[in-house]
Amino acid sequence: MNINMLMQQAQRMQKEVEANAKKAKESLAGIEVHAEAGGGLVKVTMTCRHIVKRIEINPDLLQDDADMIEDLIAAAMNDASRQAEVIADETMKSASAGSGLPPGLAGLF
């Protein structure tokens, strides 16, 4: 096997990994996570690309002080973000699986 063949094979593998990563990122935009805080008083819907689609605040909560409402919104947002990260990591790992790249390098795409 000569060096030119190895370079061509590496380029094909890189293009394949990049295409799989692009498809995976596009699919993440359509996956939604749902999180809540305060026993359901605040609910957040977010995509796995970290786009907030909806925030629901129970009307009963609006009688409380703003600090508590802000804390519950932050807690729900953080929970949704963690869920989205887990799904995104799993999706990107599966997109690079079988690429032949070492595990550390596969995550770069």
CA end-to-end distance (rounded Å), the chain: 27
Q: Where are the domains of the chain?
A: 31-99
CA distance 16 to 96: 9
Which has the closest alpha carbon to 80: 45, 53, 40, 55?
Answer: 45
Q: What is the pLDDT of residues 23-46, one digit of tens each?
A: 888 888 899 999 999 999 999 999
Which residues have C-beta within 8 Å of that of residue 84, sequence separation ≥ 6?
28, 33, 46, 47, 48, 49, 50
Residue 109 has pLDDT above 50, yes or no: no
Does 31-99 carry CATH code 3.30.1310.10?
yes
Q: What is the pLDDT of residues 55-102, one digit of tens each?
A: 999 999 888 888 999 999 999 999 999 999 999 998 888 877 765 555
